[in-house]
């Protein structure tokens, strides 16, 4: 059901709100203390040989600035920080790196300038910047769809964020245009409608939220109010049929393989591949059925039973991402058992953050 070596069994601590708030402050202070105006942040030793000073939203400076800005806005951290210059540097540093990737023609939310510009818009709103972002988003409409990380679904999420920040209806119209294209690419299959990703030189059917079916569904679920009744029906039918057709269940819960069809049991149980990311995404669905809801709950059970992830505390491959699935189930169901489990994962992630900081002398 999952690869046990990727997980560990912690001694879960009692939820401590004061300690959680202190941990947030520690993370923010560490990030601010270790930034360089020219070189941004060094890559962390646990981050698979990434280059220093990356500017992207996914594993670079824009993601850190986005988090710091959000925490400051909601009052989770205090102090005055001038974050805008860091984003200018992030754009400069990211450009040559992104230009060397396979998808340099695309407006990539997670890897390209698009994600950095969105954070800029949040930190220092500007009409000229909004116009430039619109042009960038529109340029992606006729390119290959790819998936959320590199392609069209990431642009659709960006339209949602831009509309929320500006109330500019052209972003809603662009979203609707891109949604129609995305749904037109949905392929009929005996195991439920699905997209085929042409990614990194291979044609495969991925299921998760970063590269696959779930990631393509994410902007459609978030932009539900902008869709027609026919489109909503297609999405609800496709989600329920496809997830049910490919799920693997046991007494531990339910999980999904990364790629389908698959002759092997699922190995990953993390945000990007497996139950946690699928549960997190579809917990926001505005449709429901007993079978569909049971799949989400069983996916949550597997996430809980698998335990925190060895790889670290982060979102995509870490304990934080898995805990997020449990928190989203609490939001969907109102059942406090999911809140308690999410808090248990949060406390485990705090220990991971502090342990890694002690081991490496800085945060991640």
Domain-located, residue 336: no
Bridge-based pairing state of the strands 202-206 and 259-260 = antiparallel
Q: How far apart are CA 159 and CA 176, in angstroms?
A: 10
pTM, 2 dp: 0.96
* Residue 322: per-residue pLDDT: 98
Question: Which residues touch 142 (CB under 8 Å, ≥6 apart)?
Answer: none
What's the average model confidence in pLDDT over 221-243?
99
Domain-located, residue 273: no
The answer to whether 114 and 99 have CB atoms below 8 angstroms apart is no
What's the average model confidence in pLDDT over 215-227?
99
DSSP string, 9-55: ---PPPP-HHHHHHHHHHHHHHHHHT-BTTTB-PPPTTSTTPPTT--
Q: Give me the torsion for CA of 35, 36, 39, 43, rounded to 10°.
A: -30
Question: CA 356: distance to chain centroid?
Answer: 22
Checking if the pLDDT of 13 tops 80, the result is yes
Of the candidates 217, 227, 236, the one whose C-alpha atom is nearest the C-alpha of residue 172 is: 227
Q: How confident is the model at residue 364 (pLDDT cuts 50, 70, 90)?
A: confident
The answer to whether 308 and 349 have CB atoms below 8 angstroms apart is yes
Q: How confident is the model at residue 211 (pLDDT cuts 50, 70, 90)?
A: very high
* Residue 47: per-residue pLDDT: 85
How many domains are contained in the chain? 1
Domain-located, residue 284: no
Element (H, E) at 95: helix 84-99
Checking if the pLDDT of 349 tops 90, the result is yes
What's the average model confidence in pLDDT over 30-50?
91
Per the listing, tokens 């979203």 go with 175
What's the average model confidence in pLDDT over 72-82?
92
Q: How confident is the model at residue 325 (pLDDT cuts 50, 70, 90)?
A: very high
* Residue 92: per-residue pLDDT: 98
Q: Determine what percent of the chain falls in helix, strand and coil, rounding each to the nearest 5.
A: 55, 5, 40
* Residue 80: per-residue pLDDT: 85
Query: What is the overall mean pLDDT for the chain?
Result: 97
Of the candidates 186, 124, 192, the one whose C-alpha atom is nearest the C-alpha of residue 153 is: 186
The answer to whether 61 and 113 have CB atoms below 8 angstroms apart is no
Q: Dihedral sign for Cα 288, 294, 295, 298, please.
A: positive
Checking if the pLDDT of 299 tops 80, the result is yes
Q: How confident is the model over 196-210, as pLDDT tens digits? A: 999 999 999 999 999
Half-sphere exposure of 331 (CA within 13 A, CB side): 15
Q: How confident is the model over 43-71, as pLDDT tens digits? A: 988 887 788 999 999 999 999 999 999 99
Structural domain of residue 47, as residue ranges?
Answer: 35-185
Q: How far apart are CA 71 and CA 345, in angstroms?
A: 20
């Amino acid at each position: 059901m999952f690869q046990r070596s990727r997980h560990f069994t912690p001694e879960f601590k009692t939820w401590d709100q004061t300690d959680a708030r202190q941990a947030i402050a520690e993370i923010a202070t560490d990030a601010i203390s270790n930034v360089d105006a020219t070189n941004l942040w060094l890559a962390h030793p646990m981050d698979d040989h990434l280059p220093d000073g990356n500017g992207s939203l996914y594993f670079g400076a824009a993601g850190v600035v986005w988090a710091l800005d959000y925490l400051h806005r909601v009052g989770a951290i205090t102090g005055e920080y001038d974050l805008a210059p860091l984003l200018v540097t992030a754009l400069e540093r990211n450009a040559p790196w992104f230009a060397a990737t396979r998808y340099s023609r695309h407006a990539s939310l997670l890897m390209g300038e698009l994600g950095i510009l969105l954070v800029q818009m949040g930190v220092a709103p500007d009409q000229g910047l909004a116009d430039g972002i619109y042009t960038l988003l529109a340029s992606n409409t006729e390119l290959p769809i790819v998936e959320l990380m590199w392609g069209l679904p990431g642009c659709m999420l960006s339209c949602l964020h831009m509309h929320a920040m500006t109330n500019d209806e052209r972003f809603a119209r662009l979203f609707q245009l891109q949604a129609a294209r995305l749904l037109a690419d949905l392929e009929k299959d005996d195991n439920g409608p699905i997209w085929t990703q042409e990614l990194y030189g291979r044609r495969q059917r991925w299921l998760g939220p970063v590269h696959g079916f779930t990631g393509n569904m994410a902007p459609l679920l978030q932009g539900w109010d902008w869709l027609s009744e026919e489109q909503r029906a297609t999405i609800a039918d496709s989600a329920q049929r496809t997830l049910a057709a490919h799920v693997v269940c046991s007494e531990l819960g339910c999980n999904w393989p990364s790629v389908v069809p698959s002759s092997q049991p699922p190995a990953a149980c993390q945000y990007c591949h497996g139950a946690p990311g699928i549960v997190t995404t579809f917990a926001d669905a505005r449709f429901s059925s007993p079978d569909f809801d049971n799949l989400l709950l069983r996916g949550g059970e597997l996430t809980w039973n698998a335990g925190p992830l060895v790889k670290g505390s982060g979102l995509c491959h870490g304990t934080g991402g898995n805990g997020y699935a449990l928190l989203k189930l609490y939001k969907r169901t109102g059942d406090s058992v999911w809140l308690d489990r999410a808090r248990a994962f949060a406390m485990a992630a705090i220990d991971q953050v502090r342990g890694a900081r002690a081991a490496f002398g800085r945060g991640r």
